[in-house]
Structure 1
Amino acid sequence: MNRIWLFLPLVLAVTLGVVFYWGLGEDPSELDSALVGREVPSFDLPMLGDKEASGGPEILKGKVQLLNVWGTWCAACRVEHPHLNRLAEQGVPIVGLNYKDERGAALEWLEERGDPYTRVIYDPEGSLGFDLGVYGAPETYLIDAEGIVRHRHVGVVDQDVWESDFEPLYERYRKDG
């Protein structure tokens, strides 16, 4: 009976090894989202540039667009931002969700780096981010003309991610809508 206890660490090590091995093959930017295929959650939040204006899910309807979650505190957002500017110049509509940030810092960021957004939702408490299931920034969602989430990407959207993940879906939903 005492010999069985000698094999317990070996069994635990093998079990952990198998679990970690399965996890190595997972792409962290491909996190499942319960929202894919569902409407954007209801919200009523102020716009970043206008403290008096507010908006809800209706601003994410009417055309196929991206919803980009960003913050001035996010280092990866600095990497992503120039590509978002290029997409906006190409006519891709992008709504920003300024997540858990300071209004002044966010306005300064856009003035210095360019503003690729058609609108920016200001979410200082992270309430919409929470409802979307945001893990952090940047995260980008493809929203169809009816306000349905069609795709989610966690991490930087660069040219490769745009061409492989977003552009085919963007074009498909633009044609369907």
Structure 2
Amino acid sequence: MNSRRLLVLAPLGLAAAGAAGFYGMLRGMRTGDYDPRGVPSVLVGKTAPDFVLPPVDGTGKPGFATADLRDLPGPILVNYWASWCVPCIVEHPQLMHLAREGVPVWGINYKDRAKDAATFLARHGDPFARLAADEPGRVAIDWGVYGVPETYFIDRQGIIRWRWAGPITADVLEHDIRPLLRRYG
């Protein structure tokens, strides 16, 4: 085959491969084998990576470190969030509900200004028992955070048992978090 013919056929081959992948994804969604929201995490089943984060200024909440995630009195949720994050507003009522029920929610404010974070919490309520600042976002990289909001369920021994990328909705609360609380509580 000459090179001119290959140049014409290459885009067709790429389009066919893309179509086959899209078809496979649609089939998987129909059978339940493919979850478009499922973003894998290598941390599930392991302890959190080493970190030390300062508190968010102006909130009066302590920051935290990896050492604080060991030998807990019960399971906790660690929630990455930011004041500029629209989905964080969507999930905030669920976090407030969990906090009112006594579920410890520890926040990591991601790439945000302390003043904006404090204003957000004053406006929407503060569900966080502890609140750390990851202004440069370096710790989030170690955790494998794709974007905010993102939530991790950590058991008493400090093992990450579950991760959710995206806002916690009422459905996620009932079908994912509540069973984890019963199992590890």
Asked whether 1:60 is paired with 2:84, we answer: no
For 1:118 and 1:55, the matched residues in 2 are separated by 11
Amino acid at match of 1:16: G
For 1:132 and 1:153, the matched residues in 2 are separated by 12
Give unmatched runs, 5+ long, in structure 2: none
Amino acid at match of 2:37: S
Partner of 2:16: 14
Cα pair distance change 1:120/1:10, threshold 3 Å: same
Cα pair distance change 1:121/1:28, threshold 3 Å: farther
Q: Which moved more, 1:161-170 or 1:137-146?
A: 161-170
Cα pair distance change 1:165/1:54, threshold 3 Å: closer
- Asked if the contact 1:28/1:154 (under 8 Å) is kept, the reply is no
Shift of 1:19: 1.4
Number of equivalenced pairs = 173
Equivalent of 1:42 in 50, 55, 61 = 50
For 2:15 and 2:129, the matched residues in 1 are separated by 52
Partner of 2:38: 30
Equivalent of 2:116 in 105, 108, 113 = 105
The percent of aligned pairs where both chains have the same amino acid is 43
Partner of 2:89: 78
TM-score with structure 2 setting the length: 0.84
Shift of 1:10: 4.1
For 2:89 and 2:167, the matched residues in 1 are separated by 9
Shift of 1:167: 1.4
- Asked if the contact 1:69/1:96 (under 8 Å) is kept, the reply is yes
User: 1:31-88: CA deviations, max 9, x gaps?
Assistant: 100100110111111011359x653113223120100110011010011111110111
Q: 1:94-173 residue pairs with structure 2 within 5 A?
A: 94-173=105-184
Amino acid at match of 2:44: V
For 1:32 and 1:77, the matched residues in 2 are separated by 21
For the aligned residue pairs, the C-alpha RMSD in angstroms reads 2.1
Shift of 1:148: 0.9
Give unmatched runs, 5+ long, in structure 1: none
Cα pair distance change 1:87/1:8, threshold 3 Å: same
Amino acid at match of 2:95: L
- Asked if the contact 2:64/2:130 (under 8 Å) is kept, the reply is no
Cα pair distance change 1:95/1:19, threshold 3 Å: same
